[in-house]
Amino acid sequence: MTELENPLARRTVIKGAGLGAGLGAGLGLMAGTLAPVLPARAETADHSEIWSGEYWAKKGDIPLWMYRKRLGAPKAGEQARPIVFFVHGSSVTSRVFDLHVPGKGEYSVMNEFARYGFDCWTMDHENYGKSGRTSGNADIASGVEDLKAAVEVLARETGQQKYHFVGESSGALRAGAYAMAAPERINRLVFAAFTYKGEGSPTLKKRAEQVEYYRSHNMRKRDRDMIRSIATRDKPGTSDPAAVEALADAEMQFGDQIPTGTYLDMTANLPVVHPEKVLAPVLMVRGEYDGIAAVPDIEEFFNKLPNGDRQFVILPGTAHSLAIAINRQLFWHVARAFLDMPAPMAT
C-alpha cells in the first residue's frame, strides 16, 4: 500500500513548531473510534504537547495534503473536540495558518486554537503546496470539491459530521461556497477578508486589468515581492516584516507559480457565494484597512444572511491578511468567542 492510499501513514509529535518541522512516524487510529457528540464549547487547554499529523485526501486521482494539530495524540473513546478547519486564500498555502516567526511570539493560529481545545485541520488546495498538480486553475468551484474530499477524512478520523470553517480572503469564498453545497456539514463559519460582489475594492479594480491573462493562463507568478505586497499594499506597518519574510520563506519552497482561478473568480465572476444559501451562523471579520473587503460590500452580504446568529466585526490596525497581522490576537479573540458561543436556549 502506498502512502497516498494510506492517509494514516505519517504522524508526528511536536512542541508548537510550524508546518516546516520534520515529520515522523507515529500513532495509528482506527476510523470512527472517537465519540461523535460535539461539545458546545472547546474545553480549556491542558498541559499536553501539541500533536500534529499529516493526512491525504483524494479528489478523484488528485492527492490533497491535509494537516492536523491538537493537544495530545488522538485516543480511542475520548470525548470529541470541536473541529475547526482553516481554508487558505489565493496567493499562499496552508502554511499561513501555522507560521513560525523566531523571536516574534506565536503566529500559528493552529497552535493557538489547539491550546483553546479545538481539533485544528487545514489543507493545501489543488495546485498549491504539497497537493497534486494538474492543468486546472484551482478556482472556487475546484476548492469546493477539495473540501468535499477533505471532509471525508474528517468524518473517518473523528467520527464527527459537522465542523467549523475559518476562511481568509478567497479561502472564505471557498468555505462559503462549500457551505452552500453541504449545509449539513457546517457548524459555524468565520469569513475573514470576505468579498461579496467586489464593489468598492481598489485592489480588485486594479487586478481586473489583468482579467484576460487570468482567462488564458491557469498559473501566475507569485514571487517574494508579491508575498511582501500582501502585507504592504493596504497599510504598511500592520504586519511585522519578519513575519512576512517567514511566510515568504515557507511559500517559496513550492516555487514562484500559483493558480489564477480565484483571481479570475474575484475579478470576473462575483458573487460566487449567495448569502441566502448560507444557512449556518456566520462571523464576518474585516481589517480596518482592507483594500479588498469594502465595508458596504460586506454589509450587503451580512444583511441578507438568513440565520439570526451572525456577527460583523472590524478589527483596528489590521489590513487584508489577519493571519499575519501584528494585531492577529484580536482575530483569534473574536473567532474563538464566536466558535465557543453556547447554543441558544430560546429561538
In Å, how far are 4, 7, 66, 133, 249 from 10, measured between CA atoms?
A: 10, 7, 11, 21, 24
The pLDDT value given to residue 17: 39
pLDDT higher than threshold 60 for residue 179:
yes
pLDDT at 42: 67
What pLDDT sits at residue 48? 80
pLDDT digits (tens, 9 = 90+) for 113-128: 999 999 999 999 999 9
| pLDDT above 70 for 15 | no
| Residue 271 or 44, more confident | 271
Q: What is the pLDDT of residue 250?
A: 98
DSSP 8-state secondary structure symbol assigned to residue 241? H
Residue 344 pLDDT class (50, 70, 90 cuts):
confident
The overall average pLDDT reported for the chain is 89
Residue 7: pLDDT over 50? no
In this prediction, residue 21 carries a pLDDT of 38
Helices 140-158, 170-181: crossing angle, 10 deg rounding: 70
Portion of the chain with pLDDT greater than 90, in percent: 84
- What is the dihedral sign for C-alpha 128, 134, 139, 140? negative
Nearest to 123 by CA among 81, 187, 178, 73: 178
Rounded to whole angstroms, the Cα distance separating 67 from 12 reads 11
pLDDT band at 63 (very low <50, low <70, confident <90, very high): very high
HSE (CB half, 13 Å, CA atoms) of 90? 31
Domain boundaries along the sequence of the chain: 11-21+38-333
List pLDDT tens digits, range 146-172.
999 999 999 999 999 999 999 999 999
Measured from the Cβ of residue 251, the count of other Cβ atoms closer than 10 Å reads 23
pLDDT of residue 176: 98
φ, ψ of residue 178 in degrees (nearest 5):
-65, -40
Stretch 57-61: mean pLDDT: 98
Q: Residues with Cβ < 8 Å from 259, sequence gap 6 or more?
A: 90, 126, 127, 128, 136, 137, 138, 139, 218, 219, 220
Confidence (pLDDT) at 343? 84
Q: What is the per-residue pLDDT across 256-305, written as a single tens digit (0 to 9) for each?
A: 999 999 999 999 999 999 999 999 999 999 999 999 999 999 999 999 99
Position 30 scores a pLDDT of 33
- Over residues 192-226, the pLDDT tens digits come to 999 999 999 999 999 999 999 999 999 999 999 99
CATH class for domain 11-21+38-333? alpha beta
